[in-house]
Structure 1
């Protein structure tokens, strides 16, 4: 009896140790939001600040934790590093200024040093949604906005006033004409664009390296990739008791319970809540799912992503913009993925004539697994999006310490906006260290 007790205790201790190691290697949880830095200046922080020749500007770098990081940051003027926290603008022209602190990049400030009689043209939204109002400015050497005194031209056509919107997407150019000492002066020309958000369909692949039928879903997803760029794929791996999976996602059971996903893998979910049912044995057919009809269709919410990996420190900025405003219950889901993971893959199609996986072996040795869900930087089912007005940007920052068993260059993101019922309204995909704009 005593030996049985010792055995049970040993097994329990081993189980706890395994779970503890798993948690340490694969931490799941919400990100720390105190990660961004903001660059400001004593000249102002508008869309463009007008300066005089030889004017000196002093900069300040502040963390979202309230700390002053100016002395620890590097400041760049037109991508050239400067010494200290101030700079003298001695030449006429346009300038952009940014700061970097421990791999974290700040917002960008814009300045223009004007020549005599010159005025600075400003565009408050460089990339606007359809029907979003874009406002133009015209700053004199004193920084006064003289837009009301000018005539603005968009694509060489005069407009009324100094604002513009378009129901059509496209690229546009704007310039202004104004009078100075009895002469008509033409400003510089600036570009802006208008876009209509396009929907990315979320495909979640519930899979495992032990699952011999799972390559069938890979074939279907690869067929989708050939036909559209407007999908966001998340491969969610589960370990089998006799076959550990290197991409095992510790909270896969929570996802399965929430979305009613059984254990007979492969399983696939479309936009989180709709099952993609295998129609021909283990095969997954594309045409009857509606995926291609949704992919790339017009929608009213757009997502932007910016990420920076410095050593093991990952910072992610996710932005959401609505054409018609948010709805109660909307949430932001931020998933961290890894590709390029080599692991043997069971393959029940090795002897199936004509199948793409015929003759690949069973298992397929060192098969390359892509889009594996590593971590949820947001809460697993999303972080609440507060009430957001039309065209207003909602921004949320995340910080994550990347475990040593992840390959940094192989990381990517799928970011989703989901509604109160967890249906994905739109998604965005980005690689590590990539700035993905609204689209």
Structure 2
């Protein structure tokens, strides 16, 4: 009887990477470590970049790798050895045939993809419930989200009960002036001009969904309030002096919001009162799982995976079903070259 693809699920939770490729990384007060894989059945990376080598392996029910008398088939054609790469995008099928005690066995057929990474543009909103012009950024972000899914969002509060002690450090590290509203695209690009400021959606949409050299994968496992986050990074180009940033955000936080647009008929917040009672604060930065400005990524060769795991205890007052992870890779100038976002216990592979 052939082995099933049970381990593909475990692989997905491991962020599309073999755990044995993981490296330890210092995440300050958070724990980073390596988890040994549990291998049963056919294993492989679920998504790869163009020309990035994919390795296929089959393990028996004792996690012993089957290496003798085994052939792998990609799109129905046998390959030499157990590796494959493609210079073209696409979705490919994979299965293996092998001898099991003199009987020919076949694994289930799975699939893997080869991709050109897609850019998820980052918008950071420096805001506060006291800030009467800040709802304009919320409206602009909502408008962008209605037009593209390729956007990651973080709202950094100051001067209210949702503010974090690291907010001034982030401003200092990125050169963000005091005051709100302030908005940035990809950490460093100013978004919003005029008084009161206007936030053109075209500024964000022009960057959303374009090709990027860098791919990010993220997954997480929650056990009670104990969260294990797996992050992977790969690039079509070598990376040097880049950093990894991992934030946790929360939606659904209700607060009274000062609203200077109550009498502005062109605003979606016209006639909603000043303040707007129980206004939903979305994308609120609740924790940084790395250094707030980012942890160094070791120099990375092209088409090589960098992987790491972070452990974090989610505070009791965080609503688990409203939490998201926002992951960024930034360059030496703190410009986000790509980002990824996922709900807790959601797996996002390279895409």
TM tier, smaller: 0.7 to 0.9
Q: Hey, what does 2:326 align to over in structure 1? A: 414
Match of 2:183 among 268, 274, 285: 268
**CA displacement at 1:353 relative to structure 2:** 1.3
Q: Structure 1, unaligned stretches of length 5 or more? A: 1-28, 39-106, 112-121, 180-184, 240-244
Answer yes or no: is the 8 Å Cα contact 1:212–1:347 preserved in 2.
yes
**CA displacement at 1:319 relative to structure 2:** 1.7
The answer to whether the aligner puts 1:191 opposite 2:106 as a matched pair is: no
Q: TM-score, normalised by structure 2?
A: 0.81
**CA-to-aligned-CA distance 1:100-149 (integer Å, 9 cap, x gap):** xxxxxxx44114xxxxxxxxxx56433221111234568999934345xx
Q: Hey, what does 1:164 align to over in structure 2? A: 84
Q: How does 1:210-225 map to 2 (within 5 A)?
A: 210-225=130-145
Match of 2:47 among 127, 148, 152: 127
Q: Structure 2, unaligned stretches of length 5 or more? A: 1-26
Following the alignment from structure 2 to structure 1, what is the Cα–Cα distance between the partners of residues 235 and 212?
9
Following the alignment from structure 2 to structure 1, what is the Cα–Cα distance between the partners of residues 341 and 98?
44
Answer yes or no: is the 8 Å Cα contact 1:137–1:146 preserved in 2.
no
Match of 1:387 among 295, 299, 302: 299
Specify whether residues 305 and 176 from structure 1 end up closer, same or farther in structure 2 by C-alpha distance, changes over 3 A only.
closer
**CA displacement at 1:162 relative to structure 2:** 5.8
Name the larger-Rg structure.
Answer: 1
Following the alignment from structure 1 to structure 2, what is the Cα–Cα distance between the partners of residues 139 and 355?
60
Q: Hey, what does 1:405 align to over in structure 2? A: 317
The answer to whether the aligner puts 1:367 opposite 2:279 as a matched pair is: yes
Q: Hey, what does 1:87 align to over in structure 2? A: none
Following the alignment from structure 2 to structure 1, what is the Cα–Cα distance between the partners of residues 98 and 311?
48
Specify whether residues 139 and 273 from structure 1 end up closer, same or farther in structure 2 by C-alpha distance, changes over 3 A only.
closer
Following the alignment from structure 1 to structure 2, what is the Cα–Cα distance between the partners of residues 34 and 230?
28
Answer yes or no: is the 8 Å Cα contact 1:35–1:315 preserved in 2.
no
Specify whether residues 108 and 186 from structure 1 end up closer, same or farther in structure 2 by C-alpha distance, changes over 3 A only.
closer
The answer to whether the aligner puts 1:109 opposite 2:71 as a matched pair is: no
**CA displacement at 1:260 relative to structure 2:** 2.7
* Greater Cα offset, 385-394 or 277-286: 277-286
Q: Hey, what does 1:282 align to over in structure 2? A: 197
Specify whether residues 143 and 435 from structure 1 end up closer, same or farther in structure 2 by C-alpha distance, changes over 3 A only.
closer
Which of structures 1 and 2 has the larger relative contact order (alpha carbons within 8 angstroms, sep 6+)?
2
Q: Hey, what does 2:66 align to over in structure 1? A: 143
Residue-pair matches, total: 319
Answer yes or no: is the 8 Å Cα contact 1:209–1:346 preserved in 2.
yes
**CA displacement at 1:203 relative to structure 2:** 0.5
Following the alignment from structure 1 to structure 2, what is the Cα–Cα distance between the partners of residues 174 and 409?
35
Q: Hey, what does 1:331 align to over in structure 2? A: 243
**CA displacement at 1:35 relative to structure 2:** 5.6
The answer to whether the aligner puts 1:319 opposite 2:319 as a matched pair is: no
Answer yes or no: is the 8 Å Cα contact 2:57–2:66 preserved in 1.
no
Following the alignment from structure 2 to structure 1, what is the Cα–Cα distance between the partners of residues 135 and 65?
66
Answer yes or no: is the 8 Å Cα contact 1:132–1:166 preserved in 2.
yes
Match of 2:31 among 27, 30, 33: 33
Following the alignment from structure 2 to structure 1, what is the Cα–Cα distance between the partners of residues 306 and 82?
26
